[in-house]
């Protein structure tokens, strides 16, 4: 009961601040669609790692397949996977 009241208060606050209040970002001199420098600094190592691992993706794939044992799916596993895919898609379509 208390959780639903708190959620409704925060939802009202979010709608009110989004549609009925002043544009607060102007006070700080920032625009919401501009990326801040600290975000760029945090993403830079990830971008570098993605580029480096992209260069060595074939070697990584060979290394992983060498470590893992070979696995063949049985017919039952194939049917179970197909059922789970269909069930997940059905739930996604019903919920959305």
Express each pLDDT in 56-90 by its tens digit: 999 988 888 888 887 787 878 889 999 999 999 99
Q: Give the separation between CA 28 and CA 69, rounded to whole angstroms.
A: 56
Inter-axis angle of helices 37-55 and 57-67, nearest 10 = 70
In this prediction, residue 1 carries a pLDDT of: 55
Query: Are the C-beta atoms of 36 and 30 separated by less than 8 Å?
Result: yes
Express each pLDDT in 8-29 by its tens digit: 889 998 888 888 888 877 887 7
Q: Which two tokens stand for residue 13?
A: 């606050």
Query: Are the C-beta atoms of 76 and 82 separated by less than 8 Å?
Result: no
Q: Torsion angle of alpha carbons 54, 56, 59, 60, nearest 10°?
A: -50
């Amino acid at each position: 009961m208390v959780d639903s009241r708190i959620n409704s208060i925060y939802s009202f606050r979010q709608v009110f601040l989004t549609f009925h209040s002043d544009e607060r970002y102007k006070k700080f001199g920032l625009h919401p669609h501009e990326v801040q420098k600290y975000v760029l600094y945090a993403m830079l190592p990830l971008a570098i790692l993605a580029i480096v691992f992209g260069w060595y993706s074939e070697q990584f794939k060979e290394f992983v397949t060498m470590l893992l044992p070979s696995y063949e799916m049985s017919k039952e596993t194939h049917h179970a996977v197909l059922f789970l895919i269909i069930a997940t898609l059905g739930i996604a379509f019903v919920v959305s």
